[in-house]
Structure 1
């Protein structure tokens, strides 16, 4: 049965023309200018220069960041309906259940492999560079509890695993949508899409039409948000730099360098994967990707840029809707390679700071937890630091040591989000080459 019997792809194509016009109008350059001006103004407002009182700076930066929060709110309020519409219609693009299984299996293997690779790379760099040896733990005041060295070093109990797996299934889809539990939302949408494919076309068509309209509305809101993106980046960067201060960054310089080096290695890895397996020239790939990566960097949210990721994979890299509309929402939720690398580096760094000796079993646990926790983490700013706390407690490192990382985490969160989004695009491009044409 032809997939166009279910829906027409033209609305998404037409609406993405708005994004194309913005990109043709050098949106990336405007975002970059906003980024640079935000850094400069942030330094002028920062504690090092001392032009204003700290309270005054907070008021100024709060107003400057207002367009950024409006931008994020516009995007985030539309993420859930867009995910549901995209996943269901992506499944509807193919009536062959064997092909759906093939897409899902390919995604799971790719994501688990790259996430584990990212964690191992982070652990290796941490052991090689030893950034924790540049910090005097005796001089730290991170609010450590008195029994911080008595944390459980074991693996989660086996009897808890079924309960963890059961929690993936949404008991109340509306509650999952309200709380932003994207993995549950995606699973609900996938079950809904498969169920719709199993009933007669005449009965399913009204709901597919409704989802098509929902997708159009979502993309329209996204196109509006893109107009204020440069102002959003300017305000958010100003607030970040002004409140962070350059001294906090330099005090953790070796840790920051280690994480950035690891992210750059992942960046090169994905470029190589796209060239060799995705059959896309690196120059062309980077040229088309720069706006998306800049927005991912500035928003620190894979979910916030998901509409642009969808537009780019389908229209620019010609990934079939059956693949893109299923893998992009899935990737934005569970494909967290950059976050996994950061967790590997941070675990080794804090182990070195607090003189905690990690065994081979500890490293295996870190890799396993990084993969498992990334799958259930929200695609929102700051999610990585929450996952890290879980990992640290499992290997006996004081979780309160996370406070040491908070000063520079926002900058690193922006960088690792860009790598996460790059991984989502790479996943789609490689899947386009490896999955046979019977998904159409």
Structure 2
């Protein structure tokens, strides 16, 4: 009888049909349906206006992303300080940090190779019918100085403000700065010794509270997923592709090679199941696709990495926030490689072997230069300026930015979970028991991701 209960979910359905992963998939399907309905309703609305359904989808989706993002500063602050305190018990903490950065670079290197190969084979910029009048200088340009400037905290909270006549005063946070502040406070607390123990205990309790709230938000993921994918279908559809369809196809082929070839090879070399990995990381990948925000998905990435992939919390609390700011195989490797070659082909500029080497160097190192600013577009400007290509070429690609950004972000967040798993396995700190527990079925995975209320109260 106990076995039957374990395999049966709500309403007498099999557990896999009522689990968290199934709920996210259901959200995607419902979102697609609602998106097509909303798009049909928008076609009958006045020019420049949208239907109530599109507005509802946009409002619900934005609210869900905001809920995720609002938890990032307290999560990073509490998790990093707590992890530094726990790392006192780990003898190879410095080695873990170096190994993490090395594997960031290794996976980025092969990702950019995939992007270059796809661009050279498909030649998306040759014979393109896109109007050259769409070329426009970007509003933000990436630079190494900008990266150095971005990591220096402007205040203890890592906050910055801006004002515009349309939206008024708005506050934003810089995760890289919060990470730097948290590391400094954590190290200082450890150095202070016994006097800092009450502070460390408070921080650990604070982290548990933040994680409890986060679990409540994660439970809403199917609703957020439906709203976000529905809004994407309603607003963008396929009409934006136009003459850039070949470029979009090249981007997604490059991303597919990273996800379905490079990542599985890395996992196989470390004795890990690629199917098992993607099964566990599915909530992260799907949320990255619909939210288009590595930062917004970061709390879920950390939870999955710790509870489903078997990465120790003390290490995951460091590696995941760092990855969310500087590990971007989609935005900083595949995309700038293909986009830079597209711009060169469009303007009839021949690239030398050294230019391709520069693309690889910038892609491997350059994601850090855009960590505190704007994602893929700024990364592309950094690549174009390094190669001496026209920055106005950025404007040619803006029309399809939302469509390709979904795939880029899904790849980013998947890689951000992959590297901590690989490093934990290599360094002998991987919790195989947690991995095996998830292998027994989706119910085990769901319980790890979204605990039952009784477990939260413990």
Q: TM-score range by the shorter chain?
A: 0.7 to 0.9
Alignment pair present for 1:252 and 2:244: yes
**Cα distance, 1:365–1:282 mapped onto 2, change above 3 Å:** closer
**3-state DSSP class of the match of 2:49?**
helix
Per-residue CA deviations over 1:52-85 (Å, capped at 9, x if unaligned) read: 3343326542322111111111111110110111
Partner in structure 1 of residue 221 of structure 2 = 229
Structure 1 residue 224: Cα displacement: 2.4
Partner in structure 1 of residue 55 of structure 2 = 62
In structure 2, how many angstroms separate the alpha carbons of the residues matched to 1:434 and 1:198? 29
Q: Which of 210, 216, 219 is equivalent to 1:218? A: 210
Alignment pair present for 1:199 and 2:192: yes
Partner in structure 2 of residue 89 of structure 1 = 82
Structure 1 residue 206: Cα displacement: 1.6
Length-normalised TM-score, structure 1: 0.82
Q: Which has the higher contact order (CA 8 A, sep 6+)?
A: 1
Alignment pair present for 1:426 and 2:424: no
Per-residue CA deviations over 1:340-359 (Å, capped at 9, x if unaligned) read: 21111111112111222223
Partner in structure 2 of residue 74 of structure 1 = 67
Partner in structure 1 of residue 360 of structure 2 = 367
**Cα distance, 1:407–1:45 mapped onto 2, change above 3 Å:** farther
Contact 1:68 1:229 (C-alpha < 8 Å) held by counterparts: no
Q: Which of 121, 124, 127 is equivalent to 1:131? A: 124
Structure 1 residue 198: Cα displacement: 1.7
In structure 1, how many angstroms separate the alpha carbons of the residues matched to 2:151 and 2:253? 34
Q: Which of 322, 327, 336 is equivalent to 2:328? A: 336
Alignment pair present for 1:286 and 2:288: no
Contact 1:86 1:325 (C-alpha < 8 Å) held by counterparts: yes
In structure 2, how many angstroms separate the alpha carbons of the residues matched to 1:28 and 1:136? 41
Contact 1:86 1:215 (C-alpha < 8 Å) held by counterparts: yes
Partner in structure 2 of residue 121 of structure 1 = 114
Partner in structure 1 of residue 289 of structure 2 = 297
Structure 1 residue 427: Cα displacement: 0.9
Alignment pair present for 1:168 and 2:160: no
Partner in structure 1 of residue 446 of structure 2 = none
Contact 2:305 2:417 (C-alpha < 8 Å) held by counterparts: yes
In structure 1, how many angstroms separate the alpha carbons of the residues matched to 2:298 and 2:48? 35
**Cα distance, 1:59–1:373 mapped onto 2, change above 3 Å:** farther
Q: Which runs of 5+ in 1 are unaligned?
A: 1-21
Contact 1:47 1:245 (C-alpha < 8 Å) held by counterparts: no
Contact 1:168 1:183 (C-alpha < 8 Å) held by counterparts: yes
Partner in structure 2 of residue 311 of structure 1 = 303
Structure 1 residue 123: Cα displacement: 1.7
**3-state DSSP class of the match of 1:191?**
helix
Contact 1:91 1:100 (C-alpha < 8 Å) held by counterparts: no
**Cα distance, 1:186–1:110 mapped onto 2, change above 3 Å:** same
Partner in structure 2 of residue 327 of structure 1 = 319
Per-residue CA deviations over 1:113-152 (Å, capped at 9, x if unaligned) read: 2223222321221111101114135x3321447xx9xxx9
In structure 1, how many angstroms separate the alpha carbons of the residues matched to 2:42 and 2:62? 26
Alignment pair present for 1:414 and 2:406: yes
Partner in structure 1 of residue 435 of structure 2 = none
Alignment size in residue pairs: 403
Contact 1:82 1:214 (C-alpha < 8 Å) held by counterparts: no
Contact 1:57 1:242 (C-alpha < 8 Å) held by counterparts: no
Contact 1:176 1:182 (C-alpha < 8 Å) held by counterparts: no
Q: Which of 344, 349, 366 is equivalent to 1:351? A: 344
Partner in structure 1 of residue 180 of structure 2 = 187
Per-residue CA deviations over 1:383-405 (Å, capped at 9, x if unaligned) read: 21222123223323332322322
Structure 1 residue 51: Cα displacement: 3.1
Q: Which runs of 5+ in 2 are unaligned?
A: 1-14, 161-170, 431-458
**3-state DSSP class of the match of 1:347?**
helix
In structure 2, how many angstroms separate the alpha carbons of the residues matched to 1:180 and 1:376? 17
Q: CA RMSD in A?
A: 3.1
- Structure 1 range deviating more: 294-303 or 163-172: 163-172
Partner in structure 2 of residue 239 of structure 1 = 231
Structure 1 residue 102: Cα displacement: 0.4
Partner in structure 1 of residue 99 of structure 2 = 106
